[in-house]
Structure 1
Amino acid sequence: MQHKKAVLWMVFGALACPAAGWSDQAALFETQLTEPGVYVAAFGGMSFQSDSNVNLDAPGGTLGTLKFDTGSLFGGAVGYQFENPFRIEAELAHRGYDVGRVKSAGTVVPAGGDVSILSLMVNAYHDLTYDQWKPYLGIGLGVADVAWNDVTSALTPPIDHSDYVFAVQLLAGVGYELTPLITATAGYRLFGTSDPKFTARNGTVVTGKIIASEFILGLRYRF
């Protein structure tokens, strides 16, 4: 009988030790939750815009494919950090690309002009915390003003027009807490919009495509 009691106490002890460890881990996580509050953020980096077909809006095929030089991205945001690992923000950002060339039916010709994108997004994030490191995942929805500015080539009609379109972005990266109030960030974004529609100077209506891979650095300050 005493032997059975000893076995039962050993089993209870084996179960109680991991449970205590899990409790300690949960307590550690709770102490690492970020203090709630308003924050501001600023960021900048490189944006790699994928090739964009210049398609006739009416049936008629593709006039050519625009190829862009590496672009720039900069912006800012105002947000709120909840006590749990979530935060939400409003973001204003600008992207700019020079048009390098146009390709059509195997022919490549120089092109001029540039593309600018002004976006207003609402982003939601889920932050993880491990000491001073704060990895994050997020998604953003909003609108973008896409402008093709004096885009010209021998294969496409001159275009100097803009269009408002729906925009979405996926966000991932990591933050490092420099001080309790200041966090440095490095991240990746995949930004895209619904197809913008433009009217060329000769009256031809065409559509384009916006999909960009982006790498950014930034700072976030919590009040």
Structure 2
Amino acid sequence: MKLRLLAGVSVMALTLGWSSANAADAAAVEVPAAQNLWYVTLFGGASFPSDVKTHSDYYNQDFSMDFDTGFVVGGAVGMRINDMFRVEGELSYARYKANTYDEGIFHGYPADGDLSATYLLANVWADVAQFGDAKIYVGGGIGAAYVTADTTWGGHEYGYGSGGWGFAGQAGAGVTYALAQNIDLDFGYRFKAVSAVDFDSSRDSAAEFSNGKLNSHNLQLGVTFKF
């Protein structure tokens, strides 16, 4: 009788010990995932600008410049506010080489120089769908951009010169893919727009070119580090 009782107690003790060990192992493995509330994204890509159209009271006519495909680079610091939405501040820079210009009814004259835009934007993005490690997002932002140029037109000593600040905004979408728990790859499209920028003449003329608008389509690839 004593032998049976001892055997039963031994079996119960072994069973409880095995269960406790498994529970401890499970607790050690099931560590809660990091919240990743904050993140930093670095990105770069190709930028496709529209013509930059202006009016000059000095010459009493309209002007337009065509630019080659340029580049965009930048970074953003953001915070996730819930499972869907995140907010961020963006600093980015785009640059384009001049191609041709139009003056009144005359079109396609050669142009030299370049134009650049520096963007300061506050963005909101929404993760609207998830497929495994990939997420689709949409959103946009508003802010300001400093647009400036140093161009000459058809050998003349004038063209778009020093610029200024204009209201800026963007809309876009993209796909993020989780390379690791705290690193994402981000492929995105952005439509950026800047309005009402005035340019001085690039040389000694008293001319001013007013109400310039810069629109661009941007394809960019970025890396996001989450904290």
Please classify the TM superposition score into its range, dividing by the shorter chain length.
0.7 to 0.9
Q: Could you state the TM-score of these two structures normalised by the residue count of structure 2? A: 0.77
Matched AA of 2:116:
S
Pair 1:147 & 2:148 matched: yes
* Identical amino acids, percent of aligned pairs: 32
Structure 2 unaligned residues grouped into runs of 5+: 1-33
Cα deviation, 1:185-207, whole Å, max 9, x if unaligned, reads 11111000112111213111212
Aligned to 2:205: 202
Aligned length: 189
Matched residue type, 2:174:
G
Q: Aligned partners of 2:58 and 2:123: how far apart in 1?
A: 35
Paired AA for residue 40 in structure 1 = V
Deviation at 1:40, TM superposition (A): 0.4
Answer yes or no: is the 8 Å Cα contact 1:147–1:163 preserved in 2: yes
Cα deviation 1:142-179 (Å, max 9, x = unaligned) = 11110112x11137833321201110000111111111
Which residue of structure 2 lines up, in the alignment, with residue 168 of structure 1? 169
Question: C-alpha distance in 2, partners of 1:205/1:126?
Answer: 41
Q: Judge conservation of contact 1:89–1:123 (CA < 8 Å) in 2.
A: yes
Over 3 Å counting, the alpha-carbon distance change for 1:58 and 1:87 in structure 2 is farther
| Residues 57-114 of structure 1 deviation map (CA, whole Å, 9 limit, x = unaligned) | 579331x321101010000011101232100011100000001111332442211110
* Deviation larger for 38-47 or 95-104: 95-104
**Counterpart residue identity of residue 85, structure 1:** M
- 1:66 paired with 2:69, answer no
Give the direction of change, closer, same or farther, for the CA distance of 1:57–1:191 in structure 2 (3 Å limit): farther
Which residue pairs with 1:99 in the alignment?
Answer: 98
Q: Hey, what does 1:110 align to over in structure 2? A: 110
Is 1:35–1:82's contact at 8 Å kept on the other side of the alignment? no
Pairwise CA RMSD of aligned residues? Answer: 2.1
Report the equivalent of 2:54: 54
The Cα shift of 1:36 comes to 4.5
Unaligned stretches of 5+ residues in structure 1: 1-33
Whether 1:85 aligns to 2:94 is no
CA distance in 1, matches of 2:160, 2:167: 21
User: Using the alignment, how far apart are the partners of 1:96 and 1:111 within structure 2?
Assistant: 16
Distance apart, 1:35 and its partner CA: 3.3
1:215 maps to what in 2? Answer: 219
Q: Who is 1:11 aligned against?
A: none
Structure 1 position 139, deviation (Å): 1.0
Distance 1:184 1:57, change over 3 A: farther
Whether the aligned pair in 2 keeps the contact of 1:90 and 1:121 (CA below 8 Å) is yes
Q: 2:36·2:182 contact (CA, 8 Å) conserved in 1?
A: no
Amino acid in the other structure paired with 2:153? S
SS at match of 2:138: strand
Answer yes or no: is the 8 Å Cα contact 1:185–1:218 preserved in 2.
Answer: yes
